[in-house]
Amino acid sequence: MQRICFLMEVVAGREAEYQRRHDEIWPELTAALSEAGVRNYSLFRRGTQVIAYAECHPDAATAFGNVGATEVNARWQEWFKDVLAVTTGPGGEFIEADEVWHLD
């Protein structure tokens, strides 16, 4: 299992819409995340910055790669183009935060 923390940026002024869409998250997307190995997935927002945390089985690349290959993820990503300003680095990778410490 790999813990991952990554960052995204909401388009300024679209924070309420970002929240509304997550309030109505699609059950087929949450099922795809679970089936792909993503667990304990949380999003936190401070202004326009979103901090994401997930536990991935066996690792983040595999779990999110499996999610990325789904049709439901493609639809979700398309739906979010107007509310997310930045989701990845220049090479398409997550903008990760380094783990400093954790308590089990």
Task: Quick: pLDDT tens for 31-83.
Answer: 999 999 999 999 999 999 999 999 999 999 999 999 999 999 999 999 999 99
- The residue range of the domain holding 34 is 2-96
Catalytic hit among 3, 22, 75, 81: 22
Contact residues for 53 (Cβ-Cβ < 8 A; gap 6+) = 3, 4, 5, 40, 41, 42, 44
The reply to whether 102 belongs to the active site is no
Q: Is the residue at 101 inside a domain?
A: no
CA 9 distance to own-chain centroid = 11
* Tokens read off for 69: 């290959």
Q: Is the residue at 89 inside a domain?
A: yes
Q: List the CATH number of the domain containing 30.
A: 3.30.70.100
CB 64 within 8 A of CB 88: no
- The count of structural domains within the chain is 1
Distance CA 68, CA 81 (A): 15
Q: Is the residue at 104 inside a domain?
A: no
pTM beyond 0.75, yes or no: yes
